[in-house]
């Protein structure tokens, strides 16, 4: 089988407001290093997936800028959604695109806006997930071995080891398991229990063969199956106009009986809020993350990002201070997780492009 990758690179530009905007959303920002998260995600595939077989699914409004950042990816492989419909329809489009060019395609699905602390371990795990998808004819999810009880992530409870049927066994044999259940964003107490029981974080790193994914689309993804023929006929506009928005986790993985999980033991973060930068960027001796023209005095555990102008913090703890695009945001690391709700409550002049 020939291996492809589908990189999900949409976004509304709200999670890292006021730095992020609809025109420059999170994945286009250098939040975890010198390169944008999108460029890091694609570079992470080197040696695993050829550039000619990397598909990037983004919003139509972002297609041109995405192509500029990824000049080595064929322009036709950058797919611009006419309207957002979540990951189920987006990955169905990517899978149909690959299958029509390569009927034996197997596909690795990943997001463009993650932090990964060990690229080699990521590639080894991704290759293993593809091995299992090809050898056992299943949809595979990679579960990250957790280092804390995180309430903001979903969890996977592994079941019995897969049998020895099919191809692709070898090193790592026996680590692939069935899935007992998925749990979405548990309470603190439930997260502690899940971690103690051996549950894994649901990373959103997936693998499948195009044949299995499309078979499961027809069998269980009722929100998508009714308009799949439009997509296969090349009518992308009508497909997105008529499909029901749904995450692939719900449309496929939670409904299919052909699902397996492979563990991933590498540093991973979905970089979901400003507070996450304390986990993915270097800190000073007081636990502060300082980016740009910043000065701190007797401050601790703060995230400060000065894009234009200088920021000075004095005697404060646990704050997020961001100065960008003519706006200064001051909040706490905890409340930074609720920026979408904040933006919805602000006067229109504060909202990116006048809306959300």
The last residue of a domain, from among 245, 269, 293: 269
Residues 255 and 350 placed together within one structural domain of the fold: no
* Residue 263 and residue 219 in one domain: yes
Q: What is the domain range of residue 347? A: 274-354
> 289-297 and 303-314: which strand pairing?
parallel
Domain boundary among 269, 302, 329: 269
CB 206 within 8 A of CB 191: no
Tens-digit pLDDT profile for the chain (356 aa)? 899 999 999 988 899 999 999 999 999 999 999 999 999 999 999 999 999 999 999 999 999 999 999 999 999 999 999 999 999 999 999 999 999 999 999 999 999 999 999 999 999 999 999 999 999 999 999 999 999 999 989 999 999 999 764 444 444 456 999 999 999 999 999 999 999 999 999 999 999 999 999 999 999 999 999 999 999 999 999 999 999 999 999 999 999 999 999 999 999 999 999 999 999 999 999 999 999 999 999 999 999 999 989 999 999 999 999 999 999 999 999 999 999 999 999 998 887 764 44
Q: What is the pLDDT of residue 349?
A: 87
114/271 Cα distance (integer angstroms): 6
CATH code of residue 61: 3.90.550.10
Q: What is the pLDDT of residue 172?
A: 45
What integer pLDDT is reported at residue 164 of this predicted model?
62
pLDDT of residue 171: 43
Same domain membership, residue 184 and residue 75: yes
User: Would you state the structure tokens that stand for residue 26, as one six-digit string?
Assistant: 């999170």
Residues 24 and 161 in one domain: yes
Residues 175, 247 within the same domain: yes
pLDDT of residue 60: 97
C-alpha pair distances (Å), 250 with each of 87, 181, 247: 10, 12, 6
Q: What is the pLDDT of residue 167?
A: 42
Residues 140 and 17 in one domain: yes
Which residues does 196 contact at the CB level (< 8 Å), separation at least 6? none
Q: How many domains is the chain built from?
A: 2
How many angstroms separate the CA atoms of 21 and 267, rounded?
A: 27
Same domain, 185 and 77: yes
The half-sphere exposure of 44 on its side-chain side, counting CA atoms within 13 A, is 31
Q: Which of 214, 20, 188 is nearest to 107 (CA)?
A: 214
Cα distances (angstroms) measured from residue 212 to each of 61, 140, 208, 218, 315: 31, 11, 7, 10, 57
328 & 210 share domain: no
Say yes or no: 281 and 239 in one domain: no
Instruction: Print the SS3 string covering 229-278.
Output: HHHHCCCHHHHHHHCCCCCHHHHHHCCCCCEEEEEECCCEECCCCHHHHH
Token code pair at residue 110? 């990943």
Quick one: 279 and 180 in the same domain?
A: no
Last residue of a domain, one of 248, 269, 290: 269
Rounded Cα distance, 319 and 330, in Å: 7
Same domain, 179 and 217: yes
The answer to whether 321 touches 313, Cβ cutoff 8 Å, is: yes
Question: What whole-number distance in Å separates Cα of residue 207 and Cα of residue 201?
Answer: 16
pLDDT score, position 163: 76
195 and 295 both lie in a single domain: no
């Amino acid at each position: 089988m020939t291996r492809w990758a589908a990189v999900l690179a949409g976004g509304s530009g709200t999670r890292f407001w006021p730095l992020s905007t609809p025109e420059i959303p999170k994945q286009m920002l250098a939040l975890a290093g010198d390169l944008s998260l999108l460029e890091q995600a694609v570079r992470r595939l080197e040696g695993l997936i050829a550039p000619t077989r990397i598909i990037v699914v983004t919003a139509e409004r972002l297609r041109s800028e995405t192509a500029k950042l990824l000049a080595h990816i064929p322009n036709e492989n950058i797919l611009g959604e006419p309207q957002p419909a979540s990951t189920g329809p987006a990955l169905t489009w990517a899978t149909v695109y690959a299958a029509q060019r390569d009927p034996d395609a197997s596909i690795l699905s990943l997001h463009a806006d993650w932090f990964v602390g060990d690229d080699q371990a990521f590639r080894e795990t991704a290759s293993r997930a593809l091995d299992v998808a090809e050898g056992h004819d299943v949809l595979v999810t990679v579960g990250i071995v957790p280092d804390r009880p995180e309430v903001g992530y979903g969890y996977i409870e592994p079941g019995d080891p897969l049998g020895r049927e099919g191809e692709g066994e070898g090193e790592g044999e026996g680590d692939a398991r069935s899935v007992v259940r998925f749990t979405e964003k548990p309470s603190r107490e439930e997260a502690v229990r899940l971690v103690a029981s051996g549950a894994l974080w649901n990373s959103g790193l997936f693998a499948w063969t195009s044949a299995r994914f499309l078979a499961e689309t027809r069998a269980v993804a009722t929100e998508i199956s009714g308009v799949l023929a439009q997509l296969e006929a090349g009518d992308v506009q009508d497909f997105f106009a008529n499909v029901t928005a749904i995450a692939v986790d719900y449309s496929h993985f939670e409904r299919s009986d052909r699902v397996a999980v492979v563990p991933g033991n590498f540093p991973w973060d979905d970089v979901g809020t400003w507070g996450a930068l304390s986990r993915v960027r270097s800190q000073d001796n007081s636990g502060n993350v300082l980016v740009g023209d910043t000065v701190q005095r007797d401050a601790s555990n703060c995230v400060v990002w000065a894009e234009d102008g200088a920021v000075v913090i004095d005697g404060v703890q646990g704050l997020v201070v961001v100065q960008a695009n003519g706006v200064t945001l001051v909040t706490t690391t905890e409340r930074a997780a609720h920026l979408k709700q904040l933006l919805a409550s602000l006067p229109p002049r504060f909202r990116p492009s006048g809306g959300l």
